[in-house]
């Protein structure tokens, strides 16, 4: 009797725990058969169905922006399981998923009756929550690069429902920087060494301006740590993304960090460690990308003015003065990114390859 009771309790425990899993679309909103969009809202609302309506409205806005659909949403019933746009297209909504931070809704577009059935069946499937582990490369997309994809990140936000949207904003920023940037850099240093004195002065001014337009992005994967949400985005094949195309040949981190050039393509490595001034991890990634862009700009163009003087008047001393100026337009692809932990802090390595600008 005790064994039977234990087995029954174990069965109940497994059944309950499986029900706590989020829907599969929460971490993988896009697969080979399905393209969908997630909207998030606060789980608390004073209005009836307020959170549901708000989260579905955000999901539909992403869907409309991606497909260039221009339809007034004011007449939509966002509490229904689906909305017919016309005779050929229907928006399918998932049952919302709510955790302790936000309510999430999923919206996808179905063009045939058979697609509606398949999508509704898939929307009910649950999957374990995906935790990010860079040391184990889990999930695998954290370490495996793929053409037309970029990984973004957002720290915990004051409004948890905004964290997913923040990864989108950060992805746009990163993509605009690596697609085409204007780099201006000025580095001035003076050093004097003598018998009775030693001094030096350095001045560095740098400006990197993103020139590329925004791109259409779609969130394909996500995973979480205790403080961050990482999201993978796919961008469309337009003029901006064509600037990013390079040879599909690649190499592991241990090689590209020392030899960033690839076949006949010039490469550079950008590194950033520690905490950025604003404390945001997304800013740290941008700093690493900017360092790589600056290295590429220096390879393209750099003016160096150096003078050295030795005097023996009342004591031997030397005076060295160097001025380095860089001004260049750089287009590059973020070929790979590696985040590792060194001395209890995250270090970000970015591998950039120069690309030719298309007119």
Domains of the chain plus CATH, in order, are: 21-123 (3.30.1660.40), 140-354 (no CATH)
Q: Give the model confidence (pLDDT) of 10-53 as tens digits.
A: 333 333 333 478 899 999 999 877 889 999 999 888 888 999 99
* Separation between Cα atoms, residue 162 and residue 148, nearest integer Å: 25
C-beta of residue 66 within 8 angstroms of C-beta of residue 219: no
Q: Percent helix, strand, coil in the chain (nearest 5)?
A: 30, 35, 35
Of the two residues 63 and 339, the one the predictor is more confident about is: 63
C-beta of residue 83 within 8 angstroms of C-beta of residue 76: yes
CA atoms within a 13 Å half-sphere pointing along the CA-CB vector of 60: 25
The residue assigned the tokens 């993988």 is 28
Q: Give the model confidence (pLDDT) of 122-180 as tens digits.
A: 788 899 888 888 778 889 888 776 678 888 888 777 777 888 888 898 888 888 877 77
- pLDDT of 13 reads 33
* Separation between Cα atoms, residue 137 and residue 281, nearest integer Å: 19
Most confident of 77-81, 85-89, 198-202, 242-246: 77-81
| Dihedral angle computed from the Cα positions of residues 289, 293, 296 and 302, in that order, rounded to the nearest 10 degrees | -140
Output the six-digit token pair for 280: 């945001």
pTM confidence score: 0.73
- pLDDT of 215 reads 86
């Amino acid at each position: 009797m005790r064994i039977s009771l234990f087995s029954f309790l174990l069965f109940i425990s497994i059944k309950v725990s499986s029900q706590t899993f989020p829907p599969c679309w929460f971490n993988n909103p896009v697969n080979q058969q399905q393209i969908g969009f997630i909207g998030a809202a606060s789980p608390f609302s004073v209005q009836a169905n307020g959170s549901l309506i708000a989260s579905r409205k955000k999901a539909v806005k992403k869907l409309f922006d991606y497909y260039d659909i221009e339809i007034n949403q004011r007449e939509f019933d966002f509490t229904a399981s689906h909305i017919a746009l016309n005779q050929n297209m229907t928006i399918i909504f998932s049952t919302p998923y709510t955790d302790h931070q936000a309510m999430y809704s999923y919206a996808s577009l179905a063009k045939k009756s058979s697609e509606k059935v398949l999508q509704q069946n898939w929307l009910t499937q649950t999957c374990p929550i995906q935790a990010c582990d860079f040391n184990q490369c889990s999930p695998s997309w954290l370490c495996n690069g793929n053409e037309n994809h970029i990984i973004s990140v957002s720290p915990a936000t004051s409004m948890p429902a905004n964290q997913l949207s923040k990864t989108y904003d950060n992805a746009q920023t990163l993509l605009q920087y690596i697609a085409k940037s204007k780099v201006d850099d000025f580095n001035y240093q003076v050093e004097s060494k003598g018998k009775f004195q030693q001094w030096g002065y350095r001045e560095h001014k740098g400006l990197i301006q993103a020139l590329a337009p925004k791109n259409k992005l779609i969130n394909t994967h996500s995973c979480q740590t205790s403080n961050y949400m990482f999201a993978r985005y796919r961008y469309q094949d337009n003029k901006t993304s064509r600037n990013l195309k390079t040879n599909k040949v690649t190499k592991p981190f241990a090689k590209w960090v020392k030899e960033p050039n690839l076949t006949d393509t010039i490469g550079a490595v950008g590194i950033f460690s520690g905490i950025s001034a604003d404390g945001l991890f997304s800013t740290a990634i941008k700093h690493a990308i900017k360092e790589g862009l600056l290295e590429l700009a220096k390879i393209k163009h750099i003016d160096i003015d150096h003078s050295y003087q030795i005097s023996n008047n009342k004591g031997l001393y030397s005076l060295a003065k160097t001025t380095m100026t860089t001004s260049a337009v750089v287009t590059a692809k973020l070929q790979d990114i590696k985040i590792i932990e060194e001395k209890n802090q995250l270090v970000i390595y970015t591998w950039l390859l120069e690309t030719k600008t298309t007119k």
